[in-house]
Structure 1
Amino acid sequence: MISIIIIIFSLLLLISAILGFSDEYVSVKNPFEIELRKLSKEREELKKKAHSEEPKLENNVFNTIQLNLNQTTEYYTINKSQARKSFATSVTAIVAGLITVLMGIWLIYFKGNITTSIVSIASGVLLEVIGGMYFHIYNKSLEQLNYFYEKLEKMQDTMVAIELTNSINDERKKIEMQEKVIINLIERSSNVK
């Protein structure tokens, strides 16, 4: 009877670990979905602004940068969500695997039921392997998260530089600073790996 409960428990944990990446809406108050909706609404407003009837050249460039920043922020948010899901699923699978292995060992020593113990231990080891794979996915998600964060920083720096150069009153200095910003952007884009 205990072996059946252990096997059912292991299967339920395995299924919950696999469903951790389903597209089904799980939480009503999911902060990532709320953030993604805000970003989507903001993107639509930016698209309208970028394609308006009378855009100035500098505003059009700034609007395009804002639109790209919005899209990069969306990718960053999606990646952050995936990283958290991977971590939670991996921890769940590893803990469930450990409990299942310990129950299998307990069955060997105290009940003497070798067949059920072997099945339990094998199920636990399988859960441990699945947890390890989810940790690998978590690691890859973190790499992507850092990549998009760097892109966000660069884009925000670009927006600040453009805004600051546009706010200079002396026309000669303004043009000189705009040239420096342009040269810096060209050099930065040519140094991209």
Structure 2
Amino acid sequence: MIKPFQFKASDVTVEKRETVFRGFFRMDKLWLTHPRFDGRNMPVFTRELFLRGDATCVLPYDPERDEVVLLEQFRLGALGRDQSPWLLELVAGMNESGESSEDVARREGQEEAGLSFTKLEKICDYLVSPGGSTEMIYLYYGQVSTEEAGGLYGLEHEHEDIRVHVVSADEAIAMVGDGRINNAAAIIAIQWLQLNRARLRAGCQ
């Protein structure tokens, strides 16, 4: 049986690359080829690549009160679907040059929700949509106190308008189950919480 990952990045040949759009985001067009699994070479083909940049997301959770903090804000990508384009999400922000993902987590916790994390634990890193986007998400659990959490946040000059909600862990899990939460980072993090909830709660006693 042939094991996966027989090819690597150096097996891809980019014949040509040009930027076709540069605005809030950037789009490049690539002409490329690579080997096929059957031993032949793929003919040169084109793909558009969305250069999104990497981001860090954090699930704020209070293990003593068994509560989760979720952020409600407008998301253009959900507009036009049979749902509200105001989504319940995690604390999140784009990674800037020179920042670690932990730095981003702590900065965004303050900016978006007024939260200070007493502990950060890595959940996973994942590619958001590798068929056409470069974006990698660095996903964390952040331990917080939810006793005074809540309110309105966001940077006006970045056109952010955020309402912070505190919900029980059971309610957050239920919202994933019934589809009220349907964005990848929140789903992954809340399902991770299901698996690790007992450990996190035992650790704070």
For this structure pair, what is the TM-score category when the shorter chain's length is used for normalisation? under 0.3
The one of the two structures with greater contact order (alpha-carbon pairs below 8 A, sep at least 6) is: 1
Relative to its length, the structure with more helix (as a share) is 1
TM-score (norm 1): 0.19
Task: Find the structure with the greater CA-based Rg.
Answer: 1
